[in-house]
Structure 1
Amino acid sequence: MTQAYLSASQMRGGYGKADILNDCTITVERGQIAVIVGPNGAGKSTAMKAVFGMLNLREGAVLLDGEDITRLSPQERVRKGMGFVPQTHNIFPSMTVEENLEMGAFIRDDDYRETIAQVYELFPAVADKRRQNAGELSGGQRQQVAVGRALMTRPSLLMLDEPTAGVSPIVMDELFDRIIEIARTGISILMVEQNARQALEIADIGYVLVQGTNRYTDTGKALMADPDVRRTFLGG
């Protein structure tokens, strides 16, 4: 059996002495879209932070492409190929769109202009506002800038914490379409999402967390069809 590209297994940890995660396991294959859903307080964002090294684990391990990165800092994990887009405070509002993207290339010493061009191609609405301060953009456009900045590091795993929070249904659909495009380039996606039904529709694999542990794990399609999941987590 081959090792998944991301394997975060049997994670236990939390804040202070309280454990939020209890034997939580998340795996993502190359080019796969993995979605973490569940009720409020289920530990979804905590699981994401644990994968990114923002939370010290008491038990469990995080492997990326077979390498144990459990003890690495978030900065070191970025250099290993992780990109992380937090739910809030994910742009520099007083800097232009282009300056935000350039900040995403801080770990690179090569010519990153081709990557900027690829980001603009992916997000044409952002390209039109490249000279505008990012703080002046709409919520959906700011999210696009935040995702674009993470893509500037050329990640092999892109992690998104509630990427559609506070945006309109039309913008949400557009963001999900772009996420599918990103995955098609071979980048693995790990996403925490409150809009569970819409997220599972695009998910190759879904994780339903309850109280920091895996309640259901299956393909997005299978979870959407599961009557227990539908009734309990998807509103019927």
Structure 2
Amino acid sequence: MTENATMPAATPSAPAPFLIGEAMTGGYGRGADILQGCTIAVERGEIAVIVGPNGAGKSTAMKALFGMLTLRTGRVVLDGEDITTLSPQARVAKGMGFVPQTRNIFPSMTVEENLEMGAFLRRDDLRATMEQIYGLFPILRDKRRQAAGELSGGQRQQVAVGRALMTKPSVLMLDEPTAGVSPIVMDELFDRIIEVSRTGIPILMVEQNARQALEIADKGYVLVQGGNAFTGTGQDLLADPQVRRSFLGG
């Protein structure tokens, strides 16, 4: 380089995602790897959706992010902190809220008791958060004294999401929140998810109803055989001919 040559201007680096599972590889026990180097991230104020065929590793990726699966390679970073080795309980304490697809409520407990169980790590006054959840899901206020196991599928999902929100999470993860509910209830749940996102909580979800999920997504990930097949905005993926043909029914 000559004396008069000028150094190129430094390009400012993009801000790191709020939550990222980077180059994740792993499986269950000593079994084969289900995740094949996939990367999943969600930014602040964003809804990110993971879709793909059955057996693609979607729920496994969520479990890896939440610490329910030991990664063989890769890492998980939350708000700039490497949490790869932390237990699920420690991740909850760090601000992660996770709603699994099944067994996500206590059926013999009342709705209100379920919500209170979500706040087991808190030592402050729960009433303001409880009111926020009843404002988000008005039917839960009406049924707060009823056993959660007696509710409809959609109402039980509302209890499960509400219980996760009682932790005052900094990120909310939902594994197939609309599984087994009617199209009308699915639309209502998606509306509530959008409302939660508008409060500033980043949301990452796995969803079987790919087209509807991508319609509300800021970012979408299509997984195939445990790896990233397509990544883009929800609208970009909906418009991609190959994604439409292979995963959205044309």
Bin the TM-score by the shorter chain: over 0.9
| Length-normalised TM-score, structure 2 | 0.94
Written as runs of structure 1 = structure 2, the 5 A alignment for 1:111-126 is 111-126=125-140
Counterpart for residue 32 of structure 2: 18
* Structure 2 residue 229 is matched with structure 1 residue 215: yes
Flag as ranges the 4+ runs of structure 1 deviating above 4 A: none
Counterpart for residue 18 of structure 2: 5
Q: What is the aligned-residue identity percentage?
A: 78
- Give the CA deviation at 1:173: 0.2
Written as runs of structure 1 = structure 2, the 5 A alignment for 1:3-152 is 3-15=16-28, 16-152=30-166
Amino acid at match of 1:149: R
Amino acid at match of 1:193: E
Find the aligned partners of 1:98 and 1:18 in 2 and give their Cα distance: 41
- Give the CA deviation at 1:40: 0.2
- Give the CA deviation at 1:45: 0.1
Amino acid at match of 2:69: L
Q: Deviations over 1:89-145 (max 9, x none)?
A: 100000000000000010000001110000000000111100000000000000000
* Structure 2 residue 201 is matched with structure 1 residue 187: yes
Find the aligned partners of 2:141 and 2:131 in 1 and give their Cα distance: 9
- Give the CA deviation at 1:17: 3.0
- SS of the aligned residue for 1:106 comes to coil
> Which has more strand, going by share of residues?
1
Find the aligned partners of 1:222 and 1:4 in 2 and give their Cα distance: 20
Counterpart for residue 7 of structure 2: none
- SS of the aligned residue for 2:237 comes to helix
Find the aligned partners of 2:150 and 2:41 in 1 and give their Cα distance: 37
Task: Identify the match of residue 201 of structure 1 among 206, 215, 219.
Answer: 215
Find the aligned partners of 2:175 and 2:145 in 1 and give their Cα distance: 27
Runs of at least 5 residues in structure 1 that lack an aligned partner in the other structure? none
RMSD: 0.5
Written as runs of structure 1 = structure 2, the 5 A alignment for 1:157-196 is 157-196=171-210
Amino acid at match of 2:33: D
Find the aligned partners of 2:141 and 2:238 in 1 and give their Cα distance: 35
- SS of the aligned residue for 2:129 comes to helix
Q: State the aligned residue count.
A: 236
- Give the CA deviation at 1:31: 1.4
- Give the CA deviation at 1:166: 0.3
Find the aligned partners of 1:176 and 1:11 in 2 and give their Cα distance: 28
Amino acid at match of 1:55: L
| Length-normalised TM-score, structure 1 | 0.99
Find the aligned partners of 2:72 and 2:191 in 1 and give their Cα distance: 37
Runs of at least 5 residues in structure 2 that lack an aligned partner in the other structure? 1-13
- SS of the aligned residue for 1:18 comes to coil
Larger Rg: 2
Find the aligned partners of 2:22 and 2:140 in 1 and give their Cα distance: 37
- Give the CA deviation at 1:174: 0.3
